[in-house]
Amino acid sequence: MADNEEMQQAPEDCGGSCSSCGVSGCGSRKPDEPPAKLEPNSRSSIKKAIAVVSGKGGVGKSLVTSLLAAEFTKQGKKVAILDADVTGPSIPKAFGATAHPVADEDGINPVVTPSGVKIMSVNLMLPDEDVPVAWRGPVVTNVLMQFWQEVNWGDVDILLLDMPPGTSDVFLTIFQMLPIDGIVTVSAPQELVAAIVGKAVNLAHNLKVPVIGLVENMAYFKCDSCGEEHHIFGEPQGAVVAERYGIEAVATLPIDPEAARLVDAGRVEDYDTEGALAPIVEQIERA
């Protein structure tokens, strides 16, 4: 009996990340009880948390996250980005952020861009930006929980989470343990990509997280000479995918060398989307 009782106790070093915990027999919560939502630290007031997701990599989640942050900043909103793609972080490069975060007795202070966007990313804590982060899933998820709870985010109207690709451990942990208000999903104009994006959308539905909108990136290339739009990766699929999964807002972004140039220069905030993201921005404001 003593052994059984001991098995029902949570380990002393339990961090509450039950979705990524490998301890068998832990009785810290009932099997049918969802984990409690974590709150940020006392120096943080986050009004809305939006995750940018996709079922696969390479479709431009970090670009969309950065452009949404820039759009909201231009509207006078207080914006922050939690770079949840721990092993492939892109946010610091896009914003030209190179400073290291500084901690005080209350927590970690995020790096702030010239326009006021607050950023926290593992890459800001490394000695060099090309140092690999070879961490297993439980370590990654614990780091993200620390970013949420121990960073002094301050007053934030919208916190954007740049998610890693896929629907595995990090996705589950964040959506089960953080108070996410909705997701924006990113796709490219290929049926294969659209089908994989659907996995993320369906999982969000299963976890009862609202799907705010879909951004179809790399939808077309506009010729500098003739002005004609060329569909490099095939006909746009955004509207069809949105209808298939009941997504209300749809936005399209082109293949634009200017966007790539500004991201490489750390000046993503200078890119003009010409209102392309307006439907998503409006839907996020209503979420």
What pLDDT score was predicted for residue 34? 55
Q: 66: pLDDT confidence band, cut at 50, 70 and 90?
A: very high
Distances (CA, A) of 67 to 29, 73, 152, 249: 39, 10, 23, 16
Q: What pLDDT is attached to residue 10? A: 44
Q: What is residue 77's predicted lDDT score, i.e. its pLDDT?
A: 97
Q: How confident is the model at residue 235 (pLDDT cuts 50, 70, 90)?
A: confident
Count CA within 13 A, CB hemisphere, residue 8.
7
- CA angle, 159 then 67 then 186, to 5°: 85
The predicted structure's pLDDT at residue 19: 45
Residue 110, helix vs strand vs coil: coil
Can you say whether residue 237 is alpha, beta or left, with left for phi > 0 and alpha for psi between -120 and 50 degrees? Answer: alpha
Whether residue 3 has pLDDT greater than 80 = no
Of the pLDDT bands very low, low, confident and very high (cuts 50, 70, 90), residue 275 is very high
pLDDT band at 9 (very low <50, low <70, confident <90, very high): very low
**Is residue 193's pLDDT more than 80?**
no
Across residues 189-195, what is the average pLDDT? 74
pLDDT at 168 over 80: no
Distance CA 206, CA 200 (A): 10
What pLDDT is stored for residue 88 in this prediction?
A: 85
**pLDDT band for position 184 (50/70/90)?**
very high
Q: Compute the mean pLDDT over every residue in the chain, rounded to the nearest whole number.
A: 85
Q: What φ, ψ does residue 227 adopt, rounded to 5°?
A: 80, 0
Tokens of 160: 């954007």
**Contact (CB, 8 A) for 146 and 179:** no
pLDDT at 35: 60
Judged against a pLDDT cut of 90, whether residue 132 lies above it is answered with no
pLDDT at 22 over 50: no
Rg of the chain over CA atoms, in angstroms?
Answer: 20
Whole-number pLDDT of residue 21:
52
The answer to which of 53-57, 78-82, 107-111, 176-180 has the lowest mean pLDDT is: 53-57
